[in-house]
Structure 1
């Protein structure tokens, strides 16, 4: 679950004493009536102890472009190819280089 805005989390956790474990953070947010999306995002946090609200907010996945439709997001995922950068890939020789190598 990716959030568009962390404002709900900030207001729900502003009075929580840190450091706090993930379970404490989720329970505190639920008691404060955090929204469904924020609750899901907090529940998806990695287990562990968080030293500050800032650390919690850094760990919550944010949607970088909330205005895009699901179709646009899918198209972008299809275009993105994981792997090596172009300059790290082995380069194939050009057809001219191939021709020159074949000639005696």
Structure 2
């Protein structure tokens, strides 16, 4: 799950003493009544020891377009998925570096 507002993580962890392990971070956020999206984002952290809040925020996947509705997200996903719309045999293939070198030597 991608988090829309990193400020909610800062609120949930503002009084946590660092360094802290992932389990300690999740436990602390839950004890402070973190929202479901924050809890899910922190639960998805890689297991590690985090030196500070910046390391936690770098490890949490953030939503690049938090203002889009779900239908707008679905439409953007559909467009990206079918952007090329070429058959596999029509997609140009870039020659390998070996082939490029052989062509230059000719």
| TM-score, normalized by the shorter chain, greater than 0.5 | yes
TM-score (norm 2): 0.71
Post-superposition, which runs of at least 4 consecutive aligned residues in structure 1 deviate over 6 A? none
Residue 22 (structure 2) pairs with residue 22 (structure 1): yes
Specify every segment of 5 or more residues in structure 1 that has no aligned partner in the other structure, as ranges: 81-87, 92-104
Q: Secondary structure at the match of 2:40?
A: helix
TM-score (norm 1): 0.72
Q: Which residue of 2 aligns with 1:63?
A: 63
Q: CA RMSD in A?
A: 2.0
Alignment size in residue pairs? 84
Specify every segment of 5 or more residues in structure 2 that has no aligned partner in the other structure, as ranges: 85-92, 97-106
Larger Rg: 1
